[in-house]
Amino acid sequence: MQSRRKIIIIRLAVVGTFGSRQRIKFKVPQELAIIDGYQITTAGDGALVNNVALGKLSLSFNNRASNPIYEDVVSDKVQFKTGKYEYKKLLEPVKKKTLIEGYFINVNPLPVAYTLNIYLKGKELIQE
Amino acid sequence: MASTLRKVKYQPIRLTITGAGLTASTNDARVDQNYDRVKGIQMTCTDANAIEQAYFDKFEMGGKEIYPKYYEGKLIYSGVNVAPNERFDKEVDEPGNNTTVDITLKDQSVAGTVYPYTVTVYLKLENPLK
């Protein structure tokens, strides 16, 4: 059985005030076997400032069996202008019909709205 | 007889966004028939403001999804500090040789964008067939 790259995107419309918590729940596509990279970006006028802490993100896999992603989300305007977006390494096997669950806590004191994009890159199995 | 083709070719595919919030799509674009594999993808844009939030509605080659819907263009765009050979998404390994390329890019009306602007997607082609 062959495998090919599969990228899934979890988009979260961030609303609410400082300290608000938004839940994330996402069903794993059936063919996805492993997640080997992730990255987090922001989109929207509310996130267009340099190096401002926007919130804290936590993601669990396989129906909360593991919690490999727990980090601060920072606005990414500076990185975009001069560098390149790279996936951070992660080696997390995922089981069929399981959920990716988590939350995002908003720590930005400014009352602005933006979209948080969570990219998960992995391998899906292909029937030959 | 020695091959007359270069070992690597960079094929540009241009999309022009003419107004705020509009989309641009390829029109019957195909990979160069003289090359067997597509081994990298990168993107440039004439307006760096616009590409901050533009995303792909579709990015397929030969009917297969390369990037999903909502994949942001800035993820395959590189800034001035990145060496030319490092700007490509090197995890791509797709058939070339006249494969169809279907790309639809959607603008997100970023303040300060000057219209029209042009986005160029470069395909890195290898394994010449002749």
User: pLDDT at position B117, please?
Assistant: 96
Contacts across the A-B interface (CB distance below 8 Å) = 47
Q: Are A104 and A56 in contact (CB under 8 A)?
A: yes
Rg, C-alpha atoms of chain B: 15
The percent of residues above 90 in pLDDT, for chain A, comes to: 51
- In degrees, rounded to 5, the angle at the alpha carbon of residue A125 between the alpha carbons of residues B101 and B103 is 15
Q: Do A81 and B87 touch (CB under 8 A)?
A: no
SS3 A7: strand
Region A79-86: mean pLDDT is 75
The predicted structure's pLDDT at residue A48: 61
Instruction: Record the tokens describing residue B122, joined without a space.
Output: 């470069």
Outline where chain B has alpha helix (H). none
Preferred mutation among B58, B91, B106 to probe A, highest tally of A CBs within 10 A: B91
- Provide, as residue numbers in chain B, all residues whose Cβ is less than 8 Å from the Cβ of A9: 68-71
**For residue A49, pLDDT beyond 80:** no
Cβ atoms of residues A29 and A8 within 8 Å: yes
Is the pLDDT confidence value at A120 over 90?
yes
Residue closest to B127 by CA, chosen among B31, B41, B61, B38: B38
DSSP annotation of A10 = E
Q: Could you report the predicted ipTM of this complex, rounded to two decimals?
A: 0.88
- pLDDT value of position A79: 53
Return the percentage of chain A with pLDDT > 70, whole number: 87
Distance from the Cα of A68 to chain B's closest Cα (Å) equals 22
Cα gap A87→A40, rounded to integer Å: 9
For range B121-126, the mean pLDDT: 96
pLDDT digits (tens, 9 = 90+) for B5-54: 889 999 999 999 999 999 999 999 999 999 999 999 999 999 888 888 89
Q: What is the mean pLDDT of residues A21-29?
A: 92
Q: Are B75 and A43 a contacting pair at CB < 8 A?
A: no
Residue B75: strand, helix, or coil: helix
Question: Residue A112: its pLDDT value, please?
Answer: 73
Phi-psi label, residue B50: left if phi above 0, alpha if psi -120 to 50, beta otherwise: alpha
pLDDT of residue B115 exceeding 60: yes
The average pLDDT across B108-119 equals 92
The pLDDT value given to residue A46: 61
What integer best gives the mean pLDDT of chain B? 92
What pLDDT, on the 0 to 100 scale, is given for residue A47? Answer: 58
Query: Measuring CA to CA, which residue among A47, A17, A51 is closest to residue A114?
Result: A47
Beta-carbon contacts of residue B91 (< 8 Å; ≥ 6 apart): A5
Q: Which range is least confidently modeled, A7-16, B36-45, B89-98? A: A7-16
pLDDT at A118: 93
Q: Count other Cβ atoms within 10 Å, centred on residue B92.
A: 19
Whether the CB of A43 is below 8 Å from some CB of chain B: the reply is yes
Whether residue A34 contacts residue A123, with contact meaning beta carbons closer than 8 Å, is answered with yes
Span between the terminal Cα atoms of chain B, in Å? 10
Confidence of residue A97 (pLDDT cuts 50, 70, 90): confident
- Give B72's strand partners: B55
**Cα of B34 to nearest chain A Cα, Å:** 24
